[in-house]
Chain A
Amino acid sequence: MTAGGLTRPGERNRLVVKFSEIDWTLALLVCLIAGMGSIMLYSIAGLSWQPWAANHLVRFGLCFALMVVLAMVDLRVWFVSAYPVYAIGLILLLAVEVMGDVSLGAQRWLNLGFVRLQPSEIMKIGLVLALARFYHGLPADEARFSWRLFVPVALIGVPTLLVAHQPDLGTAVLLAATGLSVMMLAGLSLRVVGALALSALAAIPPVVMFVLHDYQRNRILTFLNPEADPSGSGYHIMQSKIALGSGGLLGKGFGLGSQSQLDFLPEKHTDFIFATLAEEFGFVGCVSVLALYLATITIALRIASISHSHFGRLGAAGVTATFALYVLINGAMVMGLAPVVGVPMPMLSFGGTVMLTVMIGFGLVQAVRVHRYSEITSGRGTLV
C-alpha cells in the first residue's frame, strides 16, 4: 500500500487498512511477555498446565482478540466514551464501598453474580481516558498551571481515596501516580511536580503512622527492616530476595526453583512471579524480560508521540505510564526496594482483571496508532 493510496478519502477507514496499521511489533512483545508468564506458571504448578498456565494463555488469547477489536474502534468513540467509562468506574467503586465482597481482608471485588469485578481496574482506564479528554480541550498555558487544574485533581483524587479506603494501597498509589503522570505529560509545571513530590514524601511518615491499617503499616515498617522478624512480616521480602539472589547468573533451571516449588515464596503465581522467573532463569532471564518491558514501553510512548490528537497522545501515554508503573512498583517490591503492595507484574502474573485492564490499555494504544491522523476537532468531542 502506497502513501498515496492512504490519502484517498475513506481509505483509512477500511478495516483491512486499519488492521494493517496495528503495531505488530508491540503486539508481538506483549505476546512474548504473556508467553513467558505462561511458562513460569507451568513451572510453578510443578510442570503442569493446571491450574494456571493454560488458563493464563486462554485469557491472554481472549484479551489479545479484544485488543485487536479495540484497535479498530475510532478514536472519537474512545473520546466520547471517556467520561462515561470514568463515571461507571466511579459508581462501581462506590458500589464496592457499600456492598463489596471482602476478599483477602479488603473490599476490592464486586460480585455481579456472573463475574467478580474489580472496579479499581476499570478506573485505571477510565481515569486516563477522562484526564486525556479533559486536557484535550485545555490550552497549554492552563495545563501548565491554572485554577482549572482542580478538575483533574478531583478526577484523580476521588477514585484514589475510594480505592485507598477499600483498602488497596497499591492500586491507590498506582491511580495517583498514573494521574500525576498524565498531568505531567500534559504539561504541568515541573516546579509543581517537584513541590508535590516533596510534600508527598513529607506526608509519608504521618500517613504511615496514623492513617494506614495495621497490616499496611506493618508491611511498610517491615520493608524498612525486613530482617527484624524474618519469619513474621519480613518473611515475604526475605524469601523473595533469597529466590532472586540464589538464581545467580543463569538460574537454577526450568522447574527447579526450590524457593517457589517448595512454597517458600509467597504469592508465587501472582505478585511474586518475577522472583520465580529470577530463581529459575537467573540474571539473564530477568534482564531479558525487563528488556521486553522496556521495549514495550518505548514503542507505546513513540505511538503516543506520533498521534495527531492531544487526546490520543495523552491516552496512549497515560496507559503506558500505568503499565510502566506496574512494572517498576512490582519489580521494586520483589527486589526488596519497596514495601509489599498488591501490584502484579503485568502480563506475567496470573490474574484476569489486571490482564484485561492492561490489554484494554494496549487496545487504546493500538487505536491511537491506527487512528493517528484522526483529528478530534472539538474540545467537546462531537462525533464527526
Chain B
Amino acid sequence: MSEPSFFFSEVNERQGVFNRRVFLMGGLAGGGILALGGRLAQLQLLEFDRYKVMSTANQFNFRISPPPRGLILDRFGVVLAANRPNFRVLMMRDEVSDVGATLESLSQLIPITPERRQQLVKELAHTPRLVPIEVAEDLTWEEFSRINVRAPELPGITADMAEARVYPYGGAFAHVIGYVAKVSDRDLLAAGKSPDPVLHHPGFRIGKQGVEKALDLALRGKAGASKTEVDAQGRVIRKDPAGDVQAVPGKTVVLSLDADVQNRALEVLGAESGACVVMDIRTGDLICMASTPSFDANRFVKGLTGPEYRALADYERRPLLDKALSGTYPPGSTFKPMTALAALESGMIDPEERINCTGQMWFGNRFFHCWKRGGHGSQNMHDAIKNSCDIYFYQTAVKIGPDRIAEVAKAFGLGQTFDIGISGQKPGLVPSTRWKRERYNQPWYPGESLSFGIGQGALSANALQLAVMAARLANGKKALNPRLIKSIGGVETPRGDAAPNLPFQTRHLDLVRAGMAAVANDVTGTAYRASQLGLGPVLMAGKTGTAQVRVISAAERAGGVRSNDSLPWRLRDHALFIAFAPYDDPKYAMSVIVQHGGGGAAVAAPKGREIMRVALLKDADVRARITSPMPLPVVEPIAPGAEQEGEAPSPPSDVIPPPLSLQGVVRP
C-alpha cells in the first residue's frame, strides 16, 4: 500500500480542497432549503388569509339567484307591477372557448340577428369573467326546450327561467310606479364601494323611476345563493345546502292609488297633455295621480331602441314628463279661493261688500280686463267666486296686498313639495314682496298684485299641489298631507291626516266653499253644466281655471279675442279645474290640468266630473247614500237597522269608522 510521497501530498491537497468545497456546497444546499422554508413561511403564515380566500373562491361557487321582486298593488290589492316567467339563454364566458362558433350553433336553434351578435361580442368585452351573459330572453317554451335538449353539446350555454317585471296596466301608472331596467354603470357607482353582488346578475333589473326607484331596496329583497363545491372544470362535486343563502323576496308595496280611478283618468284625458290628482281628504291618500300622454313601462324593461326613445323624448306633449309632479302651471282662476280667503282673513274685505264689474278696469297705465266682455255687474264675494269675476279679485288683491295671499297659498300647500315617497316634485312658485326683492332686487309693483289675485303672473303650481289645496279647502280643518305609499311589506306608512289644523276661521272657509259649491251647482255658476255628477244627492263643489299663456294685445281684444281652436297648440290656454265631493260631506278632492287644453269649464271640468264619479261610486259610504231609501225619521230602535241595510256588502278597510253616536246605539 506504499505510495510515493508526492502522491500523498497530492491526495491530501485534493482532499483539503474537496472538504472545503463540500462544506461550501452543504452550506449552499442548506441555505437554499432555508430560503424555501422562508418562502413557505411567507406564503403559509403571512399571506395565509389571502390564499385562504382564493382557495375558497376556487372550491365553492356561489350561484346567485335574484329574489322575486316585490309586487306593487293598488289600495284594493289590484296588481300594478308583477313578475312573469322569462325563459332565457345564458352564456358563461369562462366555459366557452369559441364565442363565434357557439353563437353560430345557437342561432340555428333560436333566432339571433347579426346585430344582436355584434352587440353580444361587445358586451362580452365589458362583463366580468364569472358573470354569465344573457344571449336571448323571452323565448317560447319550444325554443327553451330546444336549447335545454342541446345544452350538453354547447358547453357554457344554459337555459334558465327567470322573472321579468311586467306592468299589467302598461302606461297608466308609468309615471308613479316608474319602471325597472338593466343596471347601468351609474347605478353601480351609486351603489357604493361594495355593491350588492346581485347587481351583476344578468337577469337583475333595477328601479329607474318613481316607486320602483324610490323603494328599490325594499322591492329588491335579498338575493339567494346556492353554495356548491366545484372542481377545476366547473363540475359540481357536491351541493352544500347548509351554506345556501335563502333568497328573501322583495316586499310588497301597496299604493294608495285606485286602479279604476287612475284608468278612468287616463281614459278621460285621452290624448290631451295633462294631469289629474285625486285625494281622499279623510286620510290624505292619493287615489289617482295620472299624467298624460303616458308611455308603456313594459317597453323600458326590455330596453328601448333608439328611435323609440327619440319618439318619446321629442314629442311635443312630452310623455316622459310626470305632469302631476314635475309640470308647473299657472293655476289661474282655481287660485281665486285663496285670494278670497286671504281677503276674509285680513278683515279688510266684507264678503257682502259689492264691487261693480264693468268688464275692465284702469290700473296704473293700462286696462285690466275681466274674462267676460261687458262685465258681471255688481258682485259680492260669493258671486265673484261663482262667476270667477276677475275685476273683483283684481281689486281685492290690490287692497290686501300680495303677502297675505302668499301666506294663505303656502298654508294650502302651494310652493312646496310633499313627502310622498317618490322624487320628481317641482315646488312651483308663490310670489311675494320678499321673493321679488330677493330674486330680482326690485320692489313689488301693485300691478303684479292684479295678476297674482287671479292666479297668474309669477305664480305656478303642479297638479298635486292644487289637489292638496282643494283637499285642505274641503277638509276645512286640517292641513292634510298627501300619501302615496300606503304600506311597505305590510307596515303601514303614516297617514296624511296626522297634520296640524289650518290657521283659518271656519266661517271664512265655509264662505269660500259655498262659493265653490255655487260654481258647480248654481245654474249661473261657471261650471254648472260640467259639474253635474248625476249621483242624486251627492253634489260636487269646484272651481274652474283658464290660464293664459300668451299676451292678448289691445288690438286683438278690440276685434274679439281669438278662440283657442284657432291658435297653435302651444299658445292655447291651460284648462284647470279643482273640485271636491260630496259637497255636504267632503270625501274626495281633485285637480285636473289640461295643458293648452282651452277653457277650464269647457275642457277640464267635464273630465274632472267623470273621474270624480268613479271615485265616488267606489266609495261605500257614497254608494249607500245614493242607493239607500229616503232617510227615515229617526226613531231609536229602527235607526241601526236602516243604516245597516243601506251599507255596502264589503266596505274597504280604509273607510272611516262610523260616528260615535252610531256605535253607541249598537251597544246594548
Contact = CB atoms under 8 A, between A and B. Distances in A.
B570 interface: no
B25 A184 contact: yes
Nearest to B13: A140
Contact of B40 (A144, A244, A313, A328): A244
Contacts of A214: none
Nearest to B3: A377
Contacts of A231: 94
A37 interface: no
A375 to B, nearest CB: 7
B36 A317 contact: no
A244 B233 contact: no
Contact of A242 (B24, B39, B51): B51
A185 interface: yes
B620 interface: no
Contacts of A381: none
A107 to B, nearest CB: 29
Nearest to B17: A187
Interface stretch (B42-50, B432-440, B595-603): B42-50
A335 B39 contact: yes
Interface in A229-258: 231, 239, 241-249, 258
A328 B230 contact: no
Nearest to B7: A377
Contact of B17 (A140, A239, A262): A140
B54 interface: yes
A263 B232 contact: yes
B44 A247 contact: yes
A143 to B, nearest CB: 7
B59 interface: yes
Contacts of A242: 51, 54-55, 58
A59 to B, nearest CB: 25
Contact of A185 (B25, B29, B40): B25
Q: What bracket does the count of chain B residues touching chain A fall in?
A: 35 or more
A96 interface: no
Nearest to A243: B55
Contact of A297 (B3, B21, B29, B54): B29
Given A258-B59, A263-B233, A324-B32, A287 B54 contact: no
Contacts of A186: 14, 17-18, 21
A108 interface: no
Q: Which of B41, B45, B54, B56 is the most central at the interface, judged by chain A CB atoms within 10 Å of its CB?
A: B54
B45 A248 contact: yes
Interface string A276-299: 001000110011001001100110
Contact of A245 (B47, B229, B237): B47
A305 B22 contact: yes
Interface in B303-341: none
Contacts of A286: 37, 40, 44
A282 B58 CA distance: 18
A324 B45 CA distance: 25
Contacts of A294: 29-30, 33
A187 B18 CA distance: 7
A314 to B, nearest CB: 7
Contacts of B30: 294, 297-298
Given A262-B58, A283-B45, A286-B44, A246 B51 contact: yes
B21 A184 contact: yes
Contacts of B94: 231
Contacts of A278: 40, 44
Contacts, number: 151
A119 to B, nearest CB: 27
A375 B1 contact: yes
Contacts of A184: 21, 24-25
A259 B25 contact: no
A173 to B, nearest CB: 15
A285 to B, nearest CB: 10
Contacts of A247: 44
B37 A290 contact: yes
Contacts of A187: 14, 17-18, 21
A331 B29 CA distance: 12
B26 interface: yes
B10 interface: yes
A22 interface: no
B26 A139 contact: no
A337 interface: yes
B15 interface: yes
B55 A327 contact: no
B18 A263 contact: no
Interface in B4-24: 10-11, 13-15, 17-19, 21-22, 24
Contacts of B39: 332, 335, 337
B410 to A, nearest CB: 63
Contacts of A245: 43-44, 47-48, 50-52, 54-55
A290 B36 contact: yes
A328 to B, nearest CB: 4
B15 A310 contact: yes
B26 A297 contact: yes
A377 B2 CA distance: 10
A262 B231 contact: yes
A287 B41 CA distance: 9
Interface in B34-80: 36-37, 39-41, 43-45, 47-48, 50-52, 54-56, 58-59
A264 interface: yes
Contacts of B15: 310, 313
Interface in B416-473: none
A247 B43 CA distance: 9
B59 A241 contact: no
Given A290-B37, A310-B14, A298 B26 contact: yes
A264 to B, nearest CB: 5
| In the A-B complex, the 3 residue pairs with the closest CB atoms | A245-B51, A246-B55, A258-B59
Given A187-B21, A313-B15, 4 more contacts: A143-B17, A186-B18, A258-B229, A314-B18
